[in-house]
């Protein structure tokens, strides 16, 4: 019995985070973002500009439904001396993933699928998948049948087993398939991906990859609409996220932030615009579910506020309360011990397109956060989180490669919550 209680405790803690603010009537958590905290956040963010670690940074925080912090420092375009501001449009990369998850789960609410159904029920190309076991003396692949089908739950939590680039034989197949070519439709992308062997048996490991792009294809198949149209009709339009999409309009180019790379010698170099803007400057055939969106602080905050409000923003209902809770609950069992770099995010599991904090930080070196929070980030060092306990949502924007090498995220979290004592 003790083992059972310990096993389900993280899930109970996360579920209780959603209920705390509505079932507790006598005491509410004290305000997090006080005047002193605002000054601490200002000093923290400014230090990243003063030290040359990034060109520009901005942050927006809401607490209990009200804006409690906004500021920006540095430049959206350093060379043009254009300040980072509230209307700056940035590439959010993998912060696209939670948006795709919400779109998919809106179809779940309509009874379009069940999480533990085989993916092949709706996308037949994923039937009879084979798993890579090695290469023989002649260099031929050794494959075996998958122990079980890929489920829809697998593609929502990165346990499908899709091939990556860390095994040379599979990496070469991935390269040749060119499944992420922007000229591919989502249907073509999915079929090319399904033609590759899996890297591991479904459910055995957590491995970040193209799962959410497959979710986008599933949204298309189940809704009968192009993915970007479904996003617009189901999320962007209702939430009035007018600056969010896959393509930057010509009139908005002056608001589009430059992208910077902090090289190994710690100098900050601008990524050439033709490369930085390549994905978003043209209406490509591929509209991936895992990356590719651009947005503003206020737009993404509307999305985050919808989540902390259990699926609602004002009178607009995007998801049911129970669906948001399902998305923000850890779906990784303890048997999934291989988790790639996920542990670097803190003491977390993974729900439906979010990391989910299951334990408080144990040391000052870990990322700070509240048990029950759910969050994700983007390749250009953007991030957001939803803290249901304190009804707090935070969005942090910058445009910096490689991903958060400067530890901006930890510093920002410490500024909001206070440093963890050793």
- In 199-296, which ranges are continuous DSSP H helix? 211-223, 227-231, 237-239, 273-276
Tokens 């707090």 found at:
392
297: nearest Cα among 187, 186, 384, 199: 384
Could you read off the pLDDT of 191-214 as tens digits, one per residue?
999 999 999 999 999 999 999 999
At what angle are helices 408-417 and 35-50 packed, to 10 degrees?
Answer: 160
Burial (CB count <10 Å: 0-12, 13-18, 19+), residue 302: buried
Could you read off the pLDDT of 221-258 as tens digits, one per residue?
999 999 999 999 999 999 999 999 999 999 999 999 99
pLDDT of residue 18: 54
Catalogue all structural domains in the chain, each as residue range(s) with its CATH number: 2-105+227-275+289-417 (3.40.710.10), 116-223 (no CATH)
Contacts of 158 (CB under 8 A, 6+ apart): 206, 207, 208, 209, 211, 350
Could you read off the pLDDT of 46-79 as tens digits, one per residue?
999 999 999 999 999 999 999 999 999 999 999 9
Distance CA 44, CA 284 (A): 38
Query: Region 306-315: what's the mean pLDDT?
Result: 98
Distance CA 155, CA 375 (A): 17
Residue 43: band (very low, low, confident or very high) from pLDDT cuts 50, 70, 90 = very high
What is the reported pTM? 0.93
């Amino acid at each position: 019995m003790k083992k059972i209680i310990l096993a389900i405790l993280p899930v109970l803690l996360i579920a209780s985070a959603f209920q705390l603010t509505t079932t507790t009537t006598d005491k509410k958590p004290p305000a997090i973002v006080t005047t002193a905290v605002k000054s601490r956040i200002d000093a923290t963010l400014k230090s990243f500009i003063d030290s040359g670690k990034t060109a520009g940074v901005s942050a927006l925080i809401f607490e209990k439904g009200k804006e409690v912090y906004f500021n920006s420092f540095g430049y959206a375009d350093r060379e043009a001396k254009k300040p980072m501001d509230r209307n700056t449009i940035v590439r959010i990369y993998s912060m696209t993933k939670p948006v795709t998850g919400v779109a998919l789960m809106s179809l779940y609410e309509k009874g379009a699928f069940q999480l533990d159904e085989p993916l092949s029920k709706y996308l037949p190309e994923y039937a009879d998948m084979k798993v890579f076991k090695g290469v023989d003396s002649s260099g031929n692949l050794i494959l075996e049948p998958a122990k079980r089908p890929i489920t829809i739950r697998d593609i929502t939590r990165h346990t499908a087993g899709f091939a990556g680039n860390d095994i040379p034989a599979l990496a070469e197949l991935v390269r040749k398939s060119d499944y992420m070519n922007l000229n591919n439709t989502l249907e073509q992308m999915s079929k090319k991906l399904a033609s590759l062997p899996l890297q591991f048996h479904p459910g055995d490991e957590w491995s970040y990859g193209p799962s959410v792009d497959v979710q986008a294809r599933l949204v298309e198949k189940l809704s009968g609409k192009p993915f970007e149209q479904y996003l617009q009709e189901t999320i962007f339009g209702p939430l009035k996220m007018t600056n969010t999409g896959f393509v930057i309009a010509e009139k908005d180019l002056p608001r589009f932030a430059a992208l910077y790379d902090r090289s190994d010698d710690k100098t900050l170099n601008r990524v050439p615009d033709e490369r930085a803007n390549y994905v978003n400057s043209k209406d490509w055939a591929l509209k991936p579910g895992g990356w590719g969106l651009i947005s503003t602080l206020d737009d993404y905050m509307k999305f985050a506020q919808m989540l902390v409000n259990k699926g609602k923003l004002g009178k607009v209902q995007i998801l049911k309360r129970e669906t948001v809770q399902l998305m923000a609950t850890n779906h990784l069992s303890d048997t999934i011990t291989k988790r790639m770099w996920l542990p670097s995010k803190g003491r977390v599991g993974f729900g439906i397109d979010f990391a989910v904090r299951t334990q408080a930080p144990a040391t000052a070196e870990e990322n700070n956060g509240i048990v029950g929070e759910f969050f994700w980030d983007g390749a250009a060092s953007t991030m957001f989180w939803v803290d249901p306990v304190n009804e707090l949502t935070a969005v942090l924007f910058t445009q910096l490669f490689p991903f958060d090498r400067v530890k901006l995220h930890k510093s920002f979290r410490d500024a909001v919550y206070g440093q963890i004592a050793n």
